[in-house]
Structure 1
Amino acid sequence: MLQAPVSIPQPDASKARSGITGLDEMTGGGLPRGRTTLLAGGPGSGKTVVSLQFLVNGARHCKEPGIFVAFEESSQRIAANAQGFGWGIDELQKNNELYFLDAQPAPDLVLSGNFDLSGMLAVLDGQVKALKAKRVVVDALDIVLALLPDPMSKRREIYRLHDWLLANGLTAIITAKAGGDATGAMVEQSLGFMQFMVDCSILLNHGVVLGVSQRNIRIQKYRGAVFDENESPFLISKNGFEVAVARTMGRLDALVSNERVSSGVERLDTMLGGGYYRGASVLITGFPGTAKTTLSGAFAEAACQRGERTMFVSFDSDGSEVVRNLNSVGIRLEPYVKSGVLRMISARTITGSAETYLGRIKALAEEHQTRCLVIDPVSTLSKSGNELTAHNVAERLIDWCKGAGTTLVCSSLLDEMASQSEGGSPLQISTLADTWIHLNYLVQGGERNRGMSIIKSRGTSHSNQVRELILSDKGVTLADTYTAGGEVLMGTMRWEKESAERVAAEVAEAAARLKKVRLDAEEAELEVRVKSLQSELIAKQAEKALLASTTEGRARELTRGRSEMAELRGADAAQPPSGAA
């Protein structure tokens, strides 16, 4: 039975929810309501996307109409660029829930005299009252400030805008281009003081690490609220801006189950005490060619046989190649691909950072309603930027699967040049996995054989033996542990030793049968002799009895004859012997 997650706290009324995945978690509920937030970042960091998404979600889900003031791009271009997100901006505009105010200065503008924002604010004030707007975005304010002649003028207009926003009780976002170092930790000098003036300051960074695009968001300040101070990666997906936030400490959203699911290998299920836990994360590590993909495929086949929607993500090969290769070891995935139960994904078609991989995998899994997920190998994420980012992505992948109750099996490729001993994943996620299965080679007698062991399996009693993994066209199985002289034998050496013992056992059995036949013959011979002796004994006993009977009869006859003779002669009665009383 799956245990229900704990209840989610009610949103803070003093905060306006942005509706952006992850951002509300970082801010503890949203942006400060009725206050101003500064959003700074370099080109392509997603400032406009965040701002527009904030307005769209406010209009759709919070019944808070919004106004977008565009200083850099025209409203037509902004709306056209946002069409791919499916936000329905045209519909919001028709329903007077979203309004675009074009305020771009002409490229050939020549300033003469004083310049301020009073006129724009007057127009904006009328639109706020007409729409009863609650949210406002001022996009690329630095474009207008660049027209002002000196820092004092720029600061004056910034204060004018900020005071107007506060006076109208609007939840506002002001975006500005960031300057300074590559981390985006500083904004342009003319806007630097805004970080002290606003109630919330958010920095966006878009850089390249080891040739891979990386995007990060950091909340620099948030007055009167607890927030996540650390950098968090984000990506811009088909749904818009998404922040990857680590799980909050103490959060109990994982669906815990005592149900077991098969690994696809019967003898491995026995070693695990019944199989994997439903919703568990399983890590299969090993060197190239140790059958990591095969074990993953066996699990996918077993899941499909149970009728569970499964997704197999391969970083090494195309889906059709994986299906063909697994077919050679008796794992038939093609029928399930055709029926739609199994979805094969070639991750080589996905380019970008580890965050991009995670976002794409999550979107595809949710679209397929995946119950069981296979990623082969997950260690590829470590090549998409720095290993720290990849580790965080792998950690969130496991957390997301646990929260969704999805059983995750992922393989991890170990360095083939490293020592062939038990080692953790390059992503260092072996401590996070519930079950860790390690595959390796054992070289004996001039051949390599595959060995499998269970390093850990939380919550289950499991075997500590090293088993030989045997692949054939009939499927995958594990050989019984065979030791000789304290050493585990595998492959030909095991076969030769078992064959020799089998022959020796047959010889011993034949010798035992022969000895039994000889003993049976001797026993029969003895039984015949015993019967003969018994017959001879009976004859002797009869002869003896006859002799005794004959002797006794003769004695009686002699005594009777003497008596009759005496009577015939008339002799005196017999006298007692002399000396008798």
Structure 2
Amino acid sequence: MKSVRSPILKVASKAPTGIAGFDEITGGGLPHGRTTLLVGGPGSGKTVLSLQFLVYGAEECKESGIFVAFEENSKRIVANAESFGWKLAELQRKKLFFMDINPMPDMVQSGDFDLRGMLAVLEAKSNETRTRRIVFDAMDVILALLPDEAARRREVCRLHEWLLARELTGIITLKAGGEYISTRSEPPFSFIHFLVDCTVILNHSVILGVSQRNMRVQKYRGSSFDEDELPFVIGKNGLEVAVAHTPSRVDAKITNERISSGVERLDTMLGGGYYRGASVLITGFSGTAKTTLSGAFADAACQRGERTLFVSFDSDGAEVIRNLASVGIQLGRYVKSGSLRMISARTITGSAETFLARIKTLAKEHKARCLVIDPVSTWSKSGNALTARSVAERLIDWSKANGTTLVCTSLLDEMSSQSEGNSSLQISKIADTWIHLNYLLQAGERNRGLSIIKSRGTAHSNQVRELILSDSGVTLTDTYTAGGEVLMGALRWQKERADRVANEVNEVAMKLKRVRLDAEEAELEVRVKSLQTELLAKQVEKELLVRTTESRKGEISQGLTRMEELRGADATKPDRK
């Protein structure tokens, strides 16, 4: 059952360590002017954490520090820390001082001794350098020389009181085996736990052959803190604690800007492409072109002039460039120009936490605005699957907080169903866009299909499109269905060819019918014209007949009138009109 974290309250009297994640879980750092105990087995990171605490104090807080080494020689400590880039040689001249108190292996103890002499030397040095931070590394070595438990308790109390009186922020480290952390047995020097104000337990173990480091803040007087055990890594810049939540994501800038996926027709399906700063998950079986889609995205990003980091877990960078060139994606030119950096993750060994820390460092160094990880599912094989899932989630949180557009691929098990939910990472729930690639077997062929399962904040196509890879590039075909089934490949070509032949036959039949209708129409037009001519003749004939009849009637009337006038008859009668 997952514990519920209470909000961490920052206390003013904190000494920041500069360790990513640690200051967050402690609310600001170690208790200022108090003593902190670090307990852990070999290789757990006690010395690195202590030294990083002093370096940060000297560089950023302008506080001088002293490192008291009871076991390892300070020269070896400085040499080992050079890989972190802390500029210890420069700090040793002004702000950071080392003191070796290493009992010789052949030393013969004679009589009792105490720590007063050492504290007197430290008193003079701290006054001279105005020291505010101090580390006692491997205190158990010197305590083991004391004769009994009472003497050990007395000297530890003496040291503790000396630190408190001078308000020094101190760290004491003790060795402990892994069995101590995992059992309830009383640890050596257990009384120290009750004296100090803060106790941090470091654990280094191996799970499924993969190194895993975890830490837990066991106590912190006067302050709230994250009580859960959290993973951490020792990276290029020192320790980095993986906090389970990323508050900075809340302040991530939200934008409606769209960027191309590198495939024009996929952009159309997505309603304009990916959102800037979104997390995109591409799932599918081996060979379904997950890397190809990732390469197309990287190509489009570089064309826009955006610096891009491409992390490959399956192949060397040169192989990825060569393989993508076969489908028209030319990434080599961008590698030469410096806008694209190809990383083979096979060179990174360790846990999923190590992968995440390394990738974040590489992205910051390259100032990447776009990030591709192919495939992220490899992390599930890096020891603890639950840790790998948490790492994948924090990768997405980190990319959003930094405004980085993230494209991850995830390889599915071909023996399982086509659901990403079967993957041990199960990051599809928090990804913004989920694109799924699969195979469709038809007519003895295996064709690639692409579908968008989800894309938050935008309308998107619900169709399954065939993904076509060719020398000219990557594209998607229009959906083609027959009898309610989506056809792809040769079966689609065969069906389309049959449809074209049928269309041609129909077109010829339509042309013949059109010719016949045109002939019949012409014949009817001739007949209509002939009838119109005959009608016109009849109308003329009728008009002539009427006019002739009227003319004869007029002539007859005029003749009769004239005859009467000639005969003089009926002269008194009125004239006829």
Determine if the TM-score, normalized by the shorter chain, exceeds 0.5: yes
Cα distance in 1, alignment partners of residues 156 and 299 from structure 2: 62
CA contact (8 A) 1:371 1:407 kept: yes
Out of 463, 468, 471, the residue aligned to residue 470 of structure 1 is: 468
Aligned to 2:411: 413
Structure 1 distance, partners of 2:15, 2:564, is: 157
- Distance in 2 (alpha carbons) for counterparts of 1:200 and 1:465: 58
What pairs with 1:21-420 in structure 2 (closer than 5 Å)? 21-95=20-94, 97-179=95-177, 181=179, 183=181, 189-248=187-246, 252-420=250-418
Q: Distance in 2 between matches of 1:422 and 1:105?
A: 58
Instruction: Identify which range, 20-29 or 470-479, moves more after superposition.
Output: 470-479
Q: CA deviation at 1:329?
A: 1.4
Query: CA 1:423/1:497 → structure 2, altered by over 3 Å: closer, same or farther?
Result: farther
CA distance in 1 between partners of 2:223 and 2:553 (Å): 140
Letter of the 1:294 counterpart: T
Q: Is the 8 A contact 2:216 2:228 kept in 1?
A: yes
Following the alignment from structure 1 to structure 2, what is the Cα–Cα distance between the partners of residues 253 and 521?
Answer: 78
Counterpart residue number, 2:15: 16
Q: Quick check: 1:179–1:187 contact (8 Å CA) kept in 2?
A: no
Other-structure match for 1:480: 478
Asked if 2 retains the 8 angstrom alpha-carbon contact of 1:186 and 1:192, the reply is: no
Q: C-alpha separation between the residues in 1 aligned to 2:197 and 2:41?
A: 21
Alignment-mate amino acid for residue 230 of structure 1: D
2:474 aligned counterpart, secondary structure: strand
- Native 8 Å contact 1:64 1:135 kept in 2: yes
Give 1:6's aligned residue: none
Shift of 1:555: 5.3
* Aligned counterpart, 1:543: 541
- What is the aligned length? 565
Residues 456-467 of structure 1 mapped to structure 2, 5 A cutoff: 456-467=454-465
Task: State the distance in 2 between where 1:572 and 1:65 align.
Answer: 165
Contact 1:46 1:204 in 2 (8 A): yes
Partner AA of 1:482 in structure 2: Y
- Partner Cα distance (2:172, 2:153) in 1: 14
Q: 1:500 aligns with which of 498, 501, 508?
A: 498
SS at match of 2:250: coil
Matched position secondary structure for 1:82: helix
Aligned counterpart in structure 2 of residue 448 of structure 1, from 438, 442, 446: 446
Alpha-carbon shift at residue 559 of structure 1 (Å): 6.2
CA contact (8 A) 1:414 1:423 kept: no
Q: Which moved more, 1:327-336 or 1:300-309?
A: 327-336
How far off is 1:404 after superposition? 1.0
Contact 1:482-1:494 at 8 Å conserved across structures: yes
| Residue 546 (structure 1) shift | 2.8
TM-score, scaled to structure 1: 0.92
After superposition, give the CA deviation of every residue in 1:87-122 in whole Å (9 maximum; x if it has no partner): 121212212x11111111111111222122121111
State the distance in 2 between where 1:488 and 1:402 align. 37
TM-score (norm 2): 0.93
Residues of 1 paired with 2:285 and 2:75: CA distance? Answer: 54
Give the letter aligned to residue 53 of structure 1.
Answer: Q
Aligned residue for 2:176, secondary structure, equals strand
Q: Give how far 1:567 is off.
A: 7.7
Q: Give the structure 2 partner of residue 579 of structure 1.
A: none
SS at match of 2:179: coil
CA distance in 1, matches of 2:550, 2:253: 108
| Distance across 1 between alignment mates of 2:410 and 2:180 | 33
How far is the alpha carbon of 1:498 from its aligned partner? 2.6
Write the deviation string for residues 307-366 of structure 1: whole angstroms up to 9, x where unpaired: 100111111111111111111112121221111111111111111111111111111111
Task: Show structure 1 runs of 5+ residues with no match.
Answer: 1-8, 576-581
Percent of aligned positions with the same letter in both sequences? Answer: 72
Q: CA deviation at 1:49?
A: 0.8
Aligned with 1:190: secondary structure? coil
| Corresponding residue of 2:519 | 521
Q: Which shifted more, 38-47 or 550-559?
A: 550-559
Q: How far apart are residue 38 of structure 1 and its match? A: 0.5
Deviation at 1:462, TM superposition (A): 1.5
- Counterpart in 2 of 1:511? 509
CA contact (8 A) 1:414 1:426 kept: no
| Partner of residue 4, structure 1 | none
State the alpha-carbon separation in 2 of the partners of residues 486 and 159 from structure 1.
83
Q: What amino acid sits opposite 2:291 in the alignment?
A: T
Give the direction of change, closer, same or farther, for the CA distance of 1:138–1:548 in structure 2 (3 Å limit): same
Residue of structure 1 in register with 2:5 after alignment: none
1:354/1:390 contact within 8 Å kept: yes
Show CA shifts across 1:175-217 (max 9, x none): 0101251756679733112112211000111111100111111
2: CA distance between counterparts of 1:517 and 1:281? 62
Quick check: 1:184–1:205 contact (8 Å CA) kept in 2?
no
Q: Which runs of 5+ in 2 are unaligned?
A: 1-7
Amino acid in structure 2 at the alignment position of 1:43: P
Stretch deviating more after TM superposition (106-115 or 482-491): 482-491
Contact 1:182–1:207 under 8 Å retained in 2: no
Distance apart, 1:249 and its partner CA: 5.7
Give the residue type in structure 1 aligned to 2:164. L
8 Å Cα contact 2:412-2:420 kept in structure 1: no
Q: After alignment, is 239-248 or 103-112 more displaced?
A: 239-248
Question: Could you tell me how far apart the structure 1 residues matched to 2:120 and 2:184 are?
Answer: 31
Please tell me whether the aligned partners of residues 262 and 274 of structure 1 are also in contact (alpha carbons under 8 angstroms): yes
Asked if the contact 2:42–2:177 (Cα under 8 Å) also holds between the matched residues in 1, the reply is no
Q: Secondary structure at the match of 2:476?
A: strand
* Cα gap change, 1:33 to 1:186, in 2 (>3 Å): farther
- Residue type of the partner of 1:239? N
Q: How far apart in 1 are the matches of 2:461 and 2:231? A: 40
Q: Cα 1:495–1:441, aligned 2, differ >3 Å: closer, same or farther?
A: same
Post-superposition offset of 1:496: 2.5
With 244-253 and 181-190 compared, the bigger mean Cα shift is at 181-190
Question: Does the 8 Å contact 1:56/1:98 carry over to 2?
Answer: yes
Q: For residues 568 and 255 of structure 2, what CA distance do their matches in structure 1 show?
A: 127
Shift of 1:260: 0.8
